[in-house]
Amino acid sequence: MAEATDFLVIGSGVAGMWFALNAARGGRITMVTKTEPQESNSRYAQGGIAAVWSEDDALDNHVRDTLVAGAGLCRRDAVEQTVREGPDRVRDLIEIGTQFTRRADDPETYDLHQEGGHSHRRILHAADFTGQEIVRALHAACVAHPNITLLQHHMAVDLITERHLSRRQQTLPPAEDVVLGAYILDLTSEPGAVEVHPAKATVLATGGAGKVYNFTTNPEIATGDGMAMAWRIGARIANMEFVQFHPTCLYHDKEHHFLISEALRGEGGKLVLPDGSRFMPEVDPREELAPRDIVARAIDAQLKRLGIECVYLDMTHLSRDEVAHKFPNIDARLRSLGLDMVTDPVPVVPAAHYMCGGVQTRLNGETSVRNLFAVGEVSCTGLHGANRLASNSLLEAVVFAHKAADTCLERLSSLPPPPPLPEWDPGSAVDSDELVVISQTWKEIRSFMWNYVGIVRTHRRLERALNRIRLVKDEINDYYWDFKLTGDLVELRNLVNVAEMIIKCALRRRESRGLHYTLDFPETDDRLISDTVLERWL
């Protein structure tokens, strides 16, 4: 068993590292990451971080834009807290070394983008690789801090709770469950090497679950691990039906995950069909700057209507110098693939991008299970409602991670050390000689989730998906207990849990709202303004 730590942080994106850096002011941190610490959903955030920065803008404007995008389901107190504290958190990021882009004509002033759903320019960015730059600065600060221990190539398997202990010890379960740490798989060792990591408090910062779908802008690690682990111990999960599909993922046979930032549409980019005609003016008065759910559905409708594989984003109105200054990363990647946005429209399709639902939290990031916190995309704070406003995700990550760190430090002196925890019990598991089962099942889940639980849904398709996921889940559970653990097997188990939660939430919402659109209930019903909450009774 590993030495007990004050705070166990599972995940190393912006939310996890910001929590660690702030909680390390008074506590010892162990941070667990599946690959390299810089690899996370955060790293691939291109557009920027939204905050009221210009004198022409106001907090009320940002609040209003967020509420409008959220389609009636935002928690106003979560929105106001995030918007109010946002500028201070951005200043903190600048203080630790984050280099945001400044205006070419005024180097003393930060360059502000405008994206879909925003009424003002308020997106601070580092060219078009903002997430990568913030992750760089945070990682450098975390590595230098003596109170932070980083475990690379380790993966959480399950959370350990007092209820778990009572089952192992055959005693009465506690009246209120408490998280005591986690079982962690060492991915550098032989299959089955699981370590016990006790902690006074545990923080989920595992990001989203884009890999539950065939097409996604997310990296390979986005398998919904934190959501699944929290679900298995009975934490409340909310609004999983609201999966944000980014309208513009690059469509190319050599690149399947590359995001074409919304900031391009903010700089005048137009969506066009193969014949060069536009379609967004007929869909929404905001045209290409409509919220993402509207733009993604509009593209999806054109693909199905015309039987085409993609639409195009036309940026040819920008000069070579403008593209090089504003979008150097995107420009370089496109040109490496033989595409040039200065001269030709870019082929794009929608792809799964962001989970607006997740582990339900309070305003300080605490979940419904004591001593368990969730920050970043893994959480459902109430900020995003039924549809996330562009560039509010990095903002949410730092605001709620900061709140969670403050709460944990305030409680630290009163948190007892965790009791002795039992070692991982592998039972009679043996090494697997059928790894094809994992890869095949993974493909099957992602395929029927894309076809049945995608941008446009029907009740019949959802029922079909639920029936199939139950069969797959039984197959995976049998396999899980028969064979020693590998990273792929743990991810597959988590993936099927997340898929089932998305389907169940979608079936419960008998209306169309925000990111959830169903042909059976195409209208919004204001009698149904409430969160869709799942809770597993143990």
**What is the C-alpha separation between 482 and 432, in angstroms, rounded?**
8
Amino acid (one-letter) located at 166: S
Residues 6 or more apart whose CB falls under 8 angstroms from that of 277 comprise none
Q: Which residues pair with 195 in a beta bridge?
A: 184
Enumerate the active-site residues.
292
Handedness of CA 322, 324, 328, 333 (dihedral sign): positive
DSSP single-letter state for residue 287: G
Closest CA to 184 of 235, 217, 218, 150: 150
At 228 the three-state DSSP class reads helix
Q: Look up residue 159 and give its two tokens.
A: 């959370």
**What is the C-alpha separation between 223 and 241, in angstroms, rounded?**
16
H/E element holding 11? none
Closest CA to 489 of 182, 38, 185: 185
**What is the C-alpha separation between 31 and 12, in angstroms, rounded?**
7
Q: Which residues pair with 197 in a beta bridge?
A: 182
Q: Output phi, psi for 271, to 5 deg.
A: -85, 130
Q: Which residues pair with 112 in a beta bridge?
A: 124
Task: List, as one string, the DSSP characters of 423-439.
Answer: PP--TT-B--S-THHHH
- List for the chain the helix, strand, coil content (%; round to 5): 40, 20, 40
Q: Look up residue 508 and give its two tokens.
A: 């419960």
Q: Which residues pair with 148 in a beta bridge?
A: 29
